[in-house]
Structure 1
Amino acid sequence: MVQLRQAPFNLDEKGIEWVEETLNKMTVEEKIGQLFCTIGMSDEKEALDYLTKEVQIGGIMYRPANGKSLIETHSYLQESSKIPLLIAANLESGGQGAVTEGTQFGMPMGVAATDHAEMGYRLGKVSCSEGAAVGINWSFAPIVDIDINFRNPITNLRTFGSSVEKVLEMSKGYLKAADEEGLAVSIKHFPGDGVDERDQHLVTSVNDLSATEWRETYGRVYQELINEGAKTVMIGHIAQPNVVKSFKPEASHKEQYTPGSLSPILLNDLLRDELGFNGLTVTDATLMVGFTSFMSRKDAVPAAIANGCDMFLFNKSVAEDYSYMLAGYEAGVITAKRLDEAVTRILGTKASLNLHEKQAAGTLVPTFEELQSVLANEEHQAWTKECAESAVTLVKDTQNLLPLDVTKHKRLYLNVIERSIVAESDFAKQVKEALEKEGFEVTLRNRLGNIDAAKMMAGDASEEMMASLADMQKPTSDFTEQFDAALIVGNLGTSSNEVTIRLAFDALGNDIPWFVNDIPTAFVSFGNPYHLLDVPMVSTFVNSYTASPAVLEATVDRLLGRAKFTGVSPVDPFCGREELSY
Structure 2
Amino acid sequence: MPKLVDLTASPYNLDESQVAWVEETIASMTDEEKVGQLFTNLFFFGKDAYSGNELTNQEIMDRYHIGGARYQGGTAAQVQGLINELQSGSKIPLMVAANCDSGGNGACNDGTYIASGAQSEAAGDPSVARNAGYVSGREESALGVNTNFDPCVDILFNWRNTIVNTRAYGTNADDVITYTQAYIDGMRESDVNVCIKHFPGDGTEERDQHLILGVNELSVEEWDASFGKVYQHHIDNGVEMIMAGHIALPAYQKKLVPGLQDSDILPATLAPELATTLLKEQLDFNGMLITDASHMLGMTSAMQRKDYVPGAIAAGCDMFLFFNQIDEDYGYMLDGYRKGVITEERMTDALRRVLGLKAKRRLHEKKADGTLIKDPKELEVVGCEEHLAMRKDAADKGITLVKNTLDELPLNPEQHRRIKLYYVAGEKGGIYSGNDQTVQLFVDELTARGYEVSVQEGGSRVKGSIEKYKQETDAALFIAEVIGYGAQNNYRIQWSAAMSNEIPWYVHEVPTFAVSLNFTTHLHDLTMVKCFVNAYNSNPDIIAGVLDKLEGKSEFKGTPNDLVWAGKWQAKL
Superposition TM-score, scaled by structure 2 size: 0.94
Cα distance between partner residues in 1 of 2:236 and 2:553: 43
Q: Which residue of structure 2 lines up, in the alignment, with residue 270 of structure 1?
A: 278
Residue 106 of structure 1 and its aligned partner are, at CA, apart by 2.2
Q: Which residue of structure 1 lines up, in the alignment, with residue 333 of structure 2?
A: 325
Cα distance between partner residues in 2 of 1:417 and 1:403: 23
Cα distance between partner residues in 2 of 1:571 and 1:133: 39
Deviation per CA, 1:288-318: give whole Å up to 9, x if none: 1111110000011010001100000001111
* Cα distance, 1:100–1:475 mapped onto 2, change above 3 Å: closer
Q: Is the 8 A contact 1:153 1:498 kept in 2?
A: no
In the alignment, structure 1 residue 543 sits paired with structure 2 residue 534: yes
Q: Which residue of structure 1 lines up, in the alignment, with residue 16 of structure 2?
A: 13
State the one-letter code of the partner of 2:358.
K
State the one-letter code of the partner of 2:247.
I
Residue 81 of structure 1 and its aligned partner are, at CA, apart by 1.2
* Cα distance, 1:469–1:231 mapped onto 2, change above 3 Å: closer
Cα distance between partner residues in 2 of 1:246 and 1:358: 46
* Cα distance, 1:442–1:263 mapped onto 2, change above 3 Å: same
Residue 16 of structure 1 and its aligned partner are, at CA, apart by 0.8
Residue 568 of structure 1 and its aligned partner are, at CA, apart by 1.4
In the alignment, structure 1 residue 281 sits paired with structure 2 residue 292: no
Instruction: Output aligned runs, 1:82-161, within 5 Å.
Output: 82-161=91-170
Q: Which residue of structure 1 lines up, in the alignment, with residue 413 of structure 2?
A: 406
Q: Is the 8 A contact 1:161 1:571 kept in 2?
A: no
Match of 1:484 among 468, 474, 477: 474
Residue 51 of structure 1 and its aligned partner are, at CA, apart by 2.1
SS at match of 1:260: coil
Deviation per CA, 1:187-238: give whole Å up to 9, x if none: 0010111112111111111010111111111111111011111100000101
Q: Which residue of structure 1 lines up, in the alignment, with residue 422 of structure 2?
A: 415
Match of 2:64 among 55, 63, 71: 55
Q: Which residue of structure 1 lines up, in the alignment, with residue 178 of structure 2?
A: 169
SS at match of 1:62: strand
Q: Which residue of structure 1 lines up, in the alignment, with residue 50 of structure 2?
A: none
SS at match of 2:469: helix
SS at match of 2:492: coil
Q: Which residue of structure 2 lines up, in the alignment, with residue 344 of structure 1?
A: 352
Q: Which residue of structure 2 lines up, in the alignment, with residue 4 of structure 1?
A: 7
Cα distance between partner residues in 2 of 1:511 and 1:46: 48
Q: Is the 8 A contact 2:162 2:519 kept in 1?
A: no
- Give the stretch that moved more between structures: 41-50 or 271-280: 41-50
Q: Which residue of structure 1 lines up, in the alignment, with residue 310 of structure 2?
A: 302
State the one-letter code of the partner of 1:24.
A
In the alignment, structure 1 residue 382 sits paired with structure 2 residue 385: no
* Cα distance, 1:341–1:160 mapped onto 2, change above 3 Å: same
- Give the stretch that moved more between structures: 306-315 or 68-77: 68-77
Match of 1:524 among 502, 515, 522: 515
Cα distance between partner residues in 2 of 1:340 and 1:266: 20
Cα distance between partner residues in 2 of 1:224 and 1:396: 35
Cα distance between partner residues in 1 of 2:427 and 2:198: 29
Cα distance between partner residues in 2 of 1:167 and 1:532: 23
Q: Which residue of structure 1 lines up, in the alignment, with residue 487 of structure 2?
A: 497
Residue 138 of structure 1 and its aligned partner are, at CA, apart by 0.7
In the alignment, structure 1 residue 392 sits paired with structure 2 residue 399: yes
Q: Is the 8 A contact 1:120 1:169 kept in 2?
A: no
Instruction: Output aligned runs, 1:159-308, within 5 Å.
Output: 159-255=168-264, 257-308=265-316
SS at match of 1:53: helix
Deviation per CA, 1:526-580: give whole Å up to 9, x if none: 1111111111111111100111111111111000000000001245210122221
SS at match of 1:278: coil
> Percent of aligned positions with the same letter in both sequences?
39
State the one-letter code of the partner of 2:149.
F
- Give the stretch that moved more between structures: 496-505 or 4-13: 496-505
Cα distance between partner residues in 1 of 2:185 and 2:342: 35
Residue 162 of structure 1 and its aligned partner are, at CA, apart by 1.2
* Cα distance, 1:553–1:446 mapped onto 2, change above 3 Å: same
Residue 411 of structure 1 and its aligned partner are, at CA, apart by 1.6
Residue 38 of structure 1 and its aligned partner are, at CA, apart by 0.8
Q: Is the 8 A contact 1:89 1:138 kept in 2?
A: yes
Q: Is the 8 A contact 2:142 2:379 kept in 1?
A: yes
Residue 421 of structure 1 and its aligned partner are, at CA, apart by 8.2
- The total of aligned residue pairs comes to 558
Instruction: Output aligned runs, 1:407-486, within 5 Å.
Output: 407-419=414-426, 425-448=436-459, 468-471=460-463, 474-486=464-476
Q: Is the 8 A contact 1:147 1:571 kept in 2?
A: no
* Cα distance, 1:76–1:213 mapped onto 2, change above 3 Å: same
Q: Is the 8 A contact 1:155 1:194 kept in 2?
A: yes
Q: Is the 8 A contact 2:111 2:383 kept in 1?
A: no
Consecutive unaligned residues in structure 1, runs of 5 or more: 449-467
Residue 381 of structure 1 and its aligned partner are, at CA, apart by 0.9
Q: Is the 8 A contact 1:494 1:527 kept in 2?
A: no
SS at match of 1:16: helix
Q: Which residue of structure 1 lines up, in the alignment, with residue 560 of structure 2?
A: 569
SS at match of 1:524: strand
Consecutive unaligned residues in structure 2, runs of 5 or more: 48-53, 430-434
Residue 388 of structure 1 and its aligned partner are, at CA, apart by 0.5
Q: Which residue of structure 2 lines up, in the alignment, with residue 461 of structure 1?
A: none
State the one-letter code of the partner of 1:435.
L
SS at match of 1:262: coil
Q: Which residue of structure 2 lines up, in the alignment, with residue 460 of structure 1?
A: none
- Give the stretch that moved more between structures: 148-157 or 295-304: 148-157
Deviation per CA, 1:262-285: give whole Å up to 9, x if none: 000001110011111000000000
Residue 64 of structure 1 and its aligned partner are, at CA, apart by 2.7
Cα distance between partner residues in 2 of 1:26 and 1:177: 36
Q: Is the 8 A contact 1:156 1:494 kept in 2?
A: no
Cα distance between partner residues in 2 of 1:127 and 1:571: 29
Cα distance between partner residues in 1 of 2:555 and 2:260: 54
Cα distance between partner residues in 2 of 1:209 and 1:421: 35
Q: Which residue of structure 1 lines up, in the alignment, with residue 51 of structure 2?
A: none
Q: Which residue of structure 2 lines up, in the alignment, with residue 363 of structure 1?
A: 371
Deviation per CA, 1:8-47: give whole Å up to 9, x if none: 1010111111111111111121111100001013579962
Q: Is the 8 A contact 1:153 1:494 kept in 2?
A: no
Residue 497 of structure 1 and its aligned partner are, at CA, apart by 2.3
Cα distance between partner residues in 1 of 2:421 and 2:465: 20
Superposition TM-score, scaled by structure 1 size: 0.93
Cα distance between partner residues in 2 of 1:499 and 1:477: 41
* Cα distance, 1:117–1:353 mapped onto 2, change above 3 Å: same
Q: Which residue of structure 2 lines up, in the alignment, with residue 465 of structure 1?
A: none
State the one-letter code of the partner of 1:80.
G
SS at match of 1:103: coil
State the one-letter code of the partner of 1:533.
H
Cα distance between partner residues in 1 of 2:383 and 2:251: 49
- Give the stretch that moved more between structures: 29-38 or 146-155: 146-155
Q: Which residue of structure 1 lines up, in the alignment, with residue 432 of structure 2?
A: none
Q: Is the 8 A contact 1:142 1:186 kept in 2?
A: yes
Cα distance between partner residues in 2 of 1:48 and 1:383: 36
